Each structure stands twice: as structure tokens, then as C-alpha cells.
Amino acid sequence: MAYWLRRGGHQPTLIEAAAALRTGGYMIDFWGVGYDVAERMGLVPAVRAVGYDLQEVRYVDGSGRSVGRVSAQTMSRELGDRFTSLPRGDLAALLYEALGGDVATWFGVSIDRIAEGAHGVRVGFSDGRSETYDLVIGADGLHSNVRRLVFGPDKQFERHIGYYVAAFDAKGYLPRDELAYVSYGYPGRQIFRFAQRADRTMFLLVFAAEHLNGREPESPEERKAALLDVFADAQWEWPAVRQALVDVNDLYFDRVSQISMPAWSKGRVALVGDAAACVSLVAGEGTGLGMTEAYVLAGELCESTDYASAFAAYEGRLRRFIDGKQKSAREFASSFTPRTALGVWLRNQATKLMAIPGVPGLLVGAQMRDDFVLPDFGRSMNRNSSVRTPG
């Protein structure tokens, strides 16, 4: 968002709650319309350089025997080889570097107050400062603070889709199985592992909400204990995964939720990314969609002379497309982590269909191809010649 606003001649300020740019994090698959945005930023070579050339998703049973397989190469071919997987933090770093150090960034700060006036928004910060801006754009994720301050409590907008997710990484884990997601599932539970560079392995644990027995763990210790309990009867490599989980200091844990808002803006405040319309990890595309929303919103702001029309045009262009992505993610959730033994078996059998010529095209077409063409904002987004542009 800041990159495109800057390129259009605006002067954004970034507010980031973390003390420094967040690094590492879970792996994200990156393709589709967000890939097109990265291309327009000239970032594709760098994204590909830090990305992994995923070969397959391999499903295994409790004894480690392969019971299903999706060839990532086949999927990637269907997407014109415009697909890669990379750590979230690496992509965030590339996006931030694209600003060329030219955008004021306040780390370790959050917004406490937002008060809209006739000519701007008065923003009060957690460090006591306050400033007035023309607009505030909330790009602060699924549990957006800006959304809460301006639109109200999360529970009005959050749609929990019945699963929880945890992610963490470990050093020195064996086996590795390079360039493959290896995934073991049994009813209501699914574990993925992916070997990364520097001898690290990322784990993703997904489970159906009913295994928590109604109580959501809050502290890191409670979350670890809940995971150990939920997966206590897992087979496969569970003793080793369990040990990696016990040892980890940085555990990501959250409800798998979507955000559904009646409107993505109110007055001088608009939302983008997960804050506006989280599709959830099940869509496997939230990052690219967030980048697309940011590009479109910035483009409309650069083209328009009044923010209200720009906000309306932004939502008008994207709403139907994003609603469709949310709906297909909800439908896909039960295949991502089936709740019954029959469901696990059917999902594994379905992956075998991917080996039949023509089937990947149908499935990729239905699930992954984006029915949205990026608008071209032309000169209005190229007013600032000091911003690095592709070529």
C-alpha cells in the first residue's frame, strides 16, 4: 500500500506494532493476481530467488506410507509457472525493501485513538504522540486494531470456520524430504512439515474446533498444552514433532477465521488485506489478495480527487471477487482437514485423480485461477520518479 501510494506522489507513514520488521513465519504459497502485483513492483526475480520450487504435497498414513500425492509441478504448469512458496517474513522484507528507505516507519507503536474531523483524522498513538492525517488505512491483519477502533468489536465480523491452526519451526529436524510438504492426517487433525534452508523445518498443525472441548487456550503455555492434548493419539512422526513443539519458543496459534464486513471503509478510514476481508489460510492466497487490495485501493486514491469515491471504487472492483474466494475457501476447508476417516480416505483418493491428464486443469481452474484482471492506473501511479519501478 505504502509503495503504490508513494509511487502516486503521496506521503504515507507506516505504523507497525512489532519492534522491528517481522521475520520468518510460516510458508506461504504465492500465485495468482498477487503475483501480478509483485511483477508490477519488479519483485518477481527476488521472490523467486527466496522462494522454494515446491515439487509435491505428499499425504502419508500413520506408518509414513504414501497414500496420496499432488504434484506441485502440474499445478504450477497450469498457472503458467507463476507459483512459488516462500516464508511470510521474506516476502514482507522484499515489500518493505521496495520502499527504498523512503517511507517514515514507526516500529513498536500502535494506534490508541482515531477521531475523524472535517479535514482529517486525528490519530493518538500508544507512545503518547498524536498526529493528523488525511486518511487512515488499516492493514493490520485478521485481528485488526484499526477495525476494532472504527468499526467495532471483532465478533460482528469474524466468521470462525471450525478449525484452529498452529505453526512453528525447528532446527535440525529429520527426515527432511526437500521441496515437499509431507502431511499426515487422521480425523479432524492434519500435520504438515516442510524443510527449509538453514536446516530448519516448518510445521503446520490444523485441527477441528471440537477437539478443544469448548475452551480456547490463551497463553503460549496453554496453547502448547492444548496442542499436546489434541494430537496426543497421533501416529507417524508425532514423538519427534511433539518434542519440537515442546522446545519451541515462538508458537503461532489462532482460530481459522474469515472477516466479512458490510463495508470496507467508513469516513476517512479504509481497510485492506486480512483486516478487511480475511479469506483464511485455507484459501492459500490471502497474501496475494491483500497485495491486490492494496494496489487497487492505492490506484483509486491516486486517480481520484476525493477519497470517498476512491474507497467506493476500490470496494466496487473487488467485493464480488473476494466474496467468491471466501466462499470457495469455506467449501474447501473440510478437504484441507477432513473430520472423518471416510473424509480422509476420499481426500487422499481425490489427490490421485490429479495424475490423470486434464484433471489438474479442471481443479486448478475451479480453485486457483483468479477471475480478476488487475486494473492499470497508468500515469496517476507514476508521479513520483524517485520510486524504484520495474525496468
Ligand X SMILES: Cc1cc2nc3c(=O)[nH]c(=O)nc-3n(C[C@H](O)[C@H](O)[C@H](O)COP(=O)(O)OP(=O)(O)OC[C@H]3O[C@@H](n4cnc5c(N)ncnc54)[C@H](O)[C@@H]3O)c2cc1C
Residues that bind ligand X (CB under 6 A): 15-18, 22, 26, 28-30, 88, 110, 139-141, 145, 165, 167, 204, 273-275, 281, 284-288, 290
- Which is it for strands 13-16 and 104-107: parallel, antiparallel or unpaired? parallel
Give me the least distance between CB of 87 and ligand X, in Å please.
11
Looking at the Cβ atoms of 367 and 382, the one nearer to ligand X is: 367
Give me the least distance between CB of 11 and ligand X, in Å please.
19
Looking at the Cβ atoms of 73 and 110, the one nearer to ligand X is: 110
User: Which runs of consecutive H residues, i.e. helices, occur in the chain?
Assistant: 2-7, 32-40, 44-50, 72-78, 88-97, 145-151, 220-230, 238-247, 274-277, 286-303, 307-336, 341-353, 359-367
Looking at the Cβ atoms of 139 and 269, the one nearer to ligand X is: 139
Contact indicator for 12, 298 with CB cutoff of 8 Å: no
Looking at the Cβ atoms of 244 and 356, the one nearer to ligand X is: 244
Give me the least distance between CB of 40 and ligand X, in Å please.
17
Give me the least distance between CB of 111 and ligand X, in Å please.
6
Torsion angle of alpha carbons 239, 242, 243, 249, nearest 10°? Answer: 170
Q: How many residues does the chain have?
A: 391
Give me the least distance between CB of 306 and ligand X, in Å please.
25
Looking at the Cβ atoms of 32 and 299, the one nearer to ligand X is: 32
Looking at the Cβ atoms of 93 and 359, the one nearer to ligand X is: 93
Looking at the Cβ atoms of 275 and 301, the one nearer to ligand X is: 275
Q: How far is CA 79 from CA 51, 58, 135, 283, 286, in A?
A: 16, 20, 37, 16, 17
Give me the least distance between CB of 360 and ligand X, in Å please.
18
Looking at the Cβ atoms of 143 and 380, the one nearer to ligand X is: 143
Give me the least distance between CB of 286 and ligand X, in Å please.
2
Angle between helices 286-303 and 307-336 (to 10 degrees): 170
Give the three-class secondary structure for 343: helix
Give the three-class secondary structure for 149: helix
C-alpha cell at 201: 523445518
Rounded Cα distance, 8 and 374, in Å: 17
Give the three-class secondary structure for 159: strand
Contacts of 310 (CB under 8 A, 6+ apart): 297, 300, 301, 303, 304
Give me the least distance between CB of 290 and ligand X, in Å please.
4
Letter string b/e over residues 140-156, b meaning 16 or more CB atoms within 10 A of that residue's CB: bbbbbbbbbbbbeeeee
